[in-house]
Structure 1
Amino acid sequence: MKRTEEAGAFDASGWITCELAEVPGVEFVSYGVVRPGKHDPGGVPMIRARDIADGVVATSELARINPDVHRQNRRTSLRVDDLLVVLVGRIGDTAVAGPDHSDWNVARSVAVIRFTLAGLAHGIDIWVRWWLGTPRARDLLRVGSAGAEHATLPLADLKQLPVPLPPHHLRERILHTIDLAQRKMTLNTKIAGRATELADAYFSRFAQGHVRDNSHWPRAAAADVAQVIGGAPQAGALDGGLALAWASPREVLNSRTVHLDRTAGITWAPRETACAPGTLLVAPRPGEVRTVVAAIPVVPGRGMLAIRTGSEADQMWMLHELRARSEELVATAQGEQARAMSRRAFSKFHLSWPPEEARERFARIAAPLHARALAALRENHALQELVVSEMTERPTVKR
């Protein structure tokens, strides 16, 4: 086991630190296919960095490689419990290969960490994954990248990442805490999703009930009832600017919930550039337009739109109206494969826009459901902070 200079040896508390590739229980660390060739519609799925978000693999637009290419890269043919690590862009983001990913492959932009059977049995896979998510590990991985959108982490740097390991009895206790936190976080994510689905269902019934009354909601162009703002490219440090959360279109498209409460990137811009929490973020991909709500101040990325409404009732109605009409909104996208929102076309898009009393009546049900979803997500952040503190705060040893 190769110890890092940071550790040198066991410290007084019994912790040691060693390089990731030398952690007991890690079988190997490798990147994926360097020359994948052309997309093969009937080939083997290949996971790219862009396909990993919020701890899961998004399967909507997977690349596929020829089976011969896959056979030439058997080392990264995936097994259940392999840990996938993003090497390009959102450096350090992870996902775990499940049964559905067995015998898939990964691109050069993704590293595979495989564990031995003993490593899996002792929770080394869980320890490494959670350590990669700590601020300390992220800082070490991003050295020299300056938060750039397309920063690349050399595999050697990932292999040499210092990983602290506590004594066995303490690691068992922390792993138990992680297990409890993961279970609660999974439940919270389901709660957030179900709360949104209930609001969607109520919107559908609310709208259909009005149609059954043989009446029609008034219609209005999007720009007449909300402020439509174009996105901006990610920028480096600027004189007089601040580091602000920057949301890419892919983060909107791959968000596991309708509330975007974190971003991987930052941009440097004046404070007034950031959209306030409650702003709707709209991003397209072929055949679909996705709308989410910013739960934090955020600068929208280029290719997407931000929608500011005048009240909570307007926000609730606009959100669910846009979600219900996702396929129709594709016509407001532009560019290659319709991957950018046209501000002009969207501004002219006509929405069902009932009287204020009706919008407020809808919001009285929908808003508390969204508040419950946000509360569940915020609890997940608290649980993550709890685990990070357990993994990083070593006990003080009296001498």
Structure 2
Amino acid sequence: MSQLDRDLEALGPTRPLEDIPGVQSIAYGVVRPEPDPLGVPMIGATEVMDGDVIDTVPRRIAPHLADRHPRTQLTEGDLLVVLVGRVGETAVATQRHTGWNVARPVAVIRCTPQARAEGVDVWLRWWLKTPHIRRYVQASSTNSEHVTLPLQALKRLPVWLPPQGAERTRHLHTITLAQRRLALNAQIARCATELADAHFTRACPDPAHALATRPIGETGRVATGSVRCDAAEHLQEIAFAAAKEVLNSPTAHLQETAAQTWVAPDAACPPGTLLVAPRPGEVRTVLSTTPVAPARGVLAICTETETDRLWLLHALRAASRDLMTTAQGEAARAMRRKAFSRFLVPWPSQGVREDFARIASPLHDVVRAVTAEQSELQDVVTDEMTRRSERDR
């Protein structure tokens, strides 16, 4: 018996997900979507990020295709589970997503109204985050070019559900408190970043007045992304930042990535690297918190000092729409490094940039702190869920 089998056995009395009372259906979405700019919005795997649906610019598909997949036509409260790439990542459909559909790499778990009233849907979302179940999901996934969790494996996923009554109420109360704290932390991170943006705007005089500028390429080293590489003896493993992860990062700090790649030790971008990626209408910039390698469609900028890094981050955030002139392709999904490097950004004196950094740096410390707490809080809740199930064995 493997360690995973022993861990799952230790969970106590479990049932397959598909046999949990109140689970109405488990299905994946549209296999061959046909783009339609006026059609039905569709959620893909890359839009499910850190427990939320990032739907700023949703893809749309032909209505007749959405109609062929009624079990994945979303209603408020449906649980979305990623089946390809970041397998097991979850989010909950909101009222805004009613009538939308999902792509093939996303499964929809729908509970009956009674089960939702009993908190079964909330429990399942957090149960999928528990350590044993994360290992089950990884072990059950195929190791093809894109890691894939078969739908049957999701249906067979073992679930321990606390009995109705005081115990389930206590569990759900704990989860509710955690969710409130997570939402508050997300708001704190947004406000801290926006406050730094506001201070940057105050530090920049009216554009009509003369202001020193500098090409981006002279503020730091600009590097293009590359394809993912396999392991090799002379290479080191490192986080691989895809364009979608830059675009969908919930904060200006990219904490982790779904995939790893292998690069020469001197080719790794250090923590604090600026990662830039475009999509129609905007160019998004985030700071990496770990060593990283950019994927195709992502540009990386390494600066010499934190002062330069923070000023450039907010300069690029302020110029998000104007930077579209450096993107290329019909869908504006790639950046022209030379054009991007020539793009002029405000670059006042060292003193002005240092004054801004003294204000912005503590605000970014707040973002990093609450983001770290998000992960720790989730671990506390999921560990407690697992321990309770083991005690009830």
**Cα distance, 1:144 vs structure 2:** 6.6
> What one-letter code is carried by the residue in structure 2 that aligns with 1:101?
H
> How high is the TM-score relative to the length of structure 1?
0.89
**Cα distance, 1:282 vs structure 2:** 0.5
Counting only pairs closer than 5 Å after superposition, residues 126-145 of structure 1 correspond to structure 2 as 126-143=122-139
> How high is the TM-score relative to the length of structure 2?
0.90
Partner Cα distance (1:63, 1:222) in 2: 31
Partner Cα distance (1:173, 1:340) in 2: 49
Counting only pairs closer than 5 Å after superposition, residues 258-297 of structure 1 correspond to structure 2 as 258-297=252-291
Distance 1:358 1:102, change over 3 A: same
**Residue number among 333, 351, 356 corresponding to 1:339 in the alignment:** 333
Equivalent pair of 1:149/1:265 in contact (CA under 8 Å): no
Partner Cα distance (1:294, 1:146) in 2: 29
Identity percentage of aligned residues: 50
> What one-letter code is carried by the residue in structure 1 that aligns with 2:184?
L
> What one-letter code is carried by the residue in structure 1 that aligns with 2:271?
P
Partner Cα distance (2:378, 2:392) in 1: 29
Equivalent pair of 1:30/1:111 in contact (CA under 8 Å): yes
**Residue number among 182, 194, 218 corresponding to 1:224 in the alignment:** 218
Are 1:161 and 2:151 counterparts?
no
RMSD of aligned C-alpha atoms?
Answer: 2.7
Q: Could you tell me which residue of structure 2 aligns to residue 317 of structure 1?
A: 311
Counting only pairs closer than 5 Å after superposition, residues 58-207 of structure 1 correspond to structure 2 as 58-143=54-139, 150-168=146-164, 169-207=166-204
Q: Could you tell me which residue of structure 2 aligns to residue 356 of structure 1?
A: 350
Equivalent pair of 1:16/1:166 in contact (CA under 8 Å): no
Distance 1:388 1:336, change over 3 A: same
Q: Could you tell me which residue of structure 2 aligns to residue 44 of structure 1?
A: 40
Equivalent pair of 2:283/2:321 in contact (CA under 8 Å): yes
**Cα distance, 1:395 vs structure 2:** 7.6
Q: Could you tell me which residue of structure 2 aligns to residue 388 of structure 1?
A: 382
Partner Cα distance (2:389, 2:80) in 1: 31
Partner Cα distance (2:356, 2:349) in 1: 11
Distance 1:315 1:236, change over 3 A: same
Partner Cα distance (1:158, 1:86) in 2: 10
Q: What secondary structure does 1:362 align onto?
A: helix
**Residue number among 28, 47, 51 corresponding to 1:55 in the alignment:** 51
Partner Cα distance (1:372, 1:20) in 2: 39
Equivalent pair of 1:83/1:113 in contact (CA under 8 Å): yes
**Cα distance, 1:97 vs structure 2:** 0.9
**Cα distance, 1:363 vs structure 2:** 0.9
Are 1:370 and 2:367 counterparts?
no
Partner Cα distance (2:145, 2:54) in 1: 19
Q: Which stretch shows the higher mean deviation, 363-372 or 46-55?
A: 46-55
Are 1:18 and 2:12 counterparts?
no
Equivalent pair of 1:7/1:17 in contact (CA under 8 Å): no
Deviations 1:275-296 (A, max 9, x none): 2221111011122110011122
Q: Could you tell me which residue of structure 2 aligns to residue 32 of structure 1?
A: 29
**Cα distance, 1:147 vs structure 2:** 7.0
Deviations 1:168-216 (A, max 9, x none): 544432322211111011001000000111111111122136x58x4x3
Equivalent pair of 1:7/1:18 in contact (CA under 8 Å): no
Distance 1:398 1:22, change over 3 A: closer
Distance 1:205 1:274, change over 3 A: same
Aligned length in residues: 389
> What one-letter code is carried by the residue in structure 1 that aligns with 2:233?
D
Distance 1:29 1:343, change over 3 A: same
Q: Which stretch shows the higher mean deviation, 268-277 or 363-372?
A: 268-277
Partner Cα distance (1:6, 1:166) in 2: 20
**Cα distance, 1:49 vs structure 2:** 1.8
Are 1:208 and 2:202 counterparts?
no
**Cα distance, 1:8 vs structure 2:** 9.8
**Cα distance, 1:302 vs structure 2:** 1.7
